[in-house]
Structure 1
Amino acid sequence: MQEKRPRRTNQERSDTTRTELMAAARRLFIERGYADTATPDIVVAAGVTRGALYHHFEDKKALFAAVAEAEAEAVADEIEGATPDDMRPREALIKGGEAYLAALALPGRTRLLLLDGPAVLGRAGMDAIDNRHGTRSLRGGILFAVRAGDLPQNLPVEAATQLLASAYDRAALSIETGGDPAEYRKGLALLIDGLAALAG
């Protein structure tokens, strides 16, 4: 006798629909870019109704924001995974930066987070997402290194966070267009070591 499958709850069906919409949207945003992706195309690719899309997301921009948030969270998770708590702060900054570059090498991620993200959501909107994820990890790593004496005690943490984040983003963009990842990893490590040397 065949066992009956348990019926899915409304919440499970809703979660599945949202996941399918985000996966379809991510794929199309990467292939075509935000501007050239229409909501009817997303609906068809996800295999759901137009009403289902607008039940979960106010509009295409809100759907893009959800995709960008999920990508930023995945990047932060990879950074956290590469920097265990028992790692020295200086080494954690370097390894975290390497993990960031590796995470951004996933096809489409640089476009989503560094190109279309600021263009679609505005700099402030993308900064808000970054501050919940990757930038938050970097800020925490710098603060930990300052407290441990691996970086200068008078280092302005917020300014250093923004400057290093910009350097990592620029490196990711350059690697995306053919730059040598090893050269950028080396250059960024030397930047951190230069700061560390000032700690005496």
Structure 2
Amino acid sequence: MAPKRVEMMAETRAKLINAARAAFASKGFAESSMDDLTAQAGLTRGALYHHFGDKKGLLEAVIAQVDGEMTARLAAIMDAAPTTWDAFVDESIAYIEMATEPEIQRIMLLDGPAVLGDPSQWPGQNSCIRSTQRSLELLMEEGVIREVDAPATSRLINGALLSAALWIAHAEDPESTSRMAVDSFVVLVSGLLKTPR
């Protein structure tokens, strides 16, 4: 494929994703019409069908973009932490707190599950579980936490984090719910430590 054509296709995809992301965040998936999305992007419905198949395919692309940004933010938080334990806890707390952000709440935690089903089955979850497992393995190597089954424990931790995020997104007071979730999560994972901090 000619480089110019590839560039034009990427530009078209980006326009549609950006328009959809703004609409989904402000109006929600159900209230965002394909005609409005394509008009906002200055494109036709045909372009949407060609690149994404339908509105659901467009939501999947928006979720992938938001998920990638969340992952990058969490990686930066881990990199800034002074210890492996702090990186593990800080990343987890940041993920819980992201559930209070309106765009993440609406797209990732309310509309995403309603349209695409169980978020624990989304492609991004496997990378989250692998990341948690690597953290646990490193913490065991450093002698910071007790010996645990890393694959099983990483799934339990990720399940707790996802459940907390969904709880926060549906709560009447997300900020207060987030604080409760963070406090409880810290108590929960502190049980892994060999020596209490």
TM class by shorter-chain length? Answer: 0.7 to 0.9
1:56 to partner: Cα distance: 1.4
Q: What's the secondary structure of 1:84's corresponding residue? A: helix
CA contact (8 A) 1:117 1:126 kept: no
Give the aligned length: 190
Q: What's the secondary structure of 1:13's corresponding residue? A: helix
CA contact (8 A) 2:99 2:168 kept: no
Q: Indicate which of 155, 165, 168 corresponds to 1:172.
A: 165
Q: Would you say 1:37 and 2:32 are equivalent positions?
A: yes
* Range that drifts further, 171-180 or 96-105: 171-180
Computed over aligned residues only, the root mean square deviation of the Cα atoms, in angstroms, reads 2.6
Once residues 94 and 100 of structure 1 are traced to their aligned partners in structure 2, the CA distance between those partners, rounded to angstroms, is 10
Residue identity opposite 1:150 in structure 2: V
Counterpart position of 2:190: 193
Deviations 1:4-34 (A, max 9, x none): xxxx933333222211111111122223332
Deviations 1:147-197 (A, max 9, x none): 3222222x1223322222232233334444324244432221221111214
Counterpart position of 1:152: 146
Counterpart position of 1:27: 22
Per the normalisation by structure 2, the TM-score is 0.81
CA contact (8 A) 1:22 1:63 kept: yes
Once residues 53 and 88 of structure 1 are traced to their aligned partners in structure 2, the CA distance between those partners, rounded to angstroms, is 46
Percentage of pairs with the same residue: 29
Once residues 88 and 126 of structure 1 are traced to their aligned partners in structure 2, the CA distance between those partners, rounded to angstroms, is 31
Q: Indicate which of 119, 124, 146 corresponds to 1:129.
A: 124
Q: What's the secondary structure of 2:101's corresponding residue? A: coil
Q: Would you say 1:51 and 2:42 are equivalent positions?
A: no
- Structure 1 alignment gaps of length 5 or more: 1-7
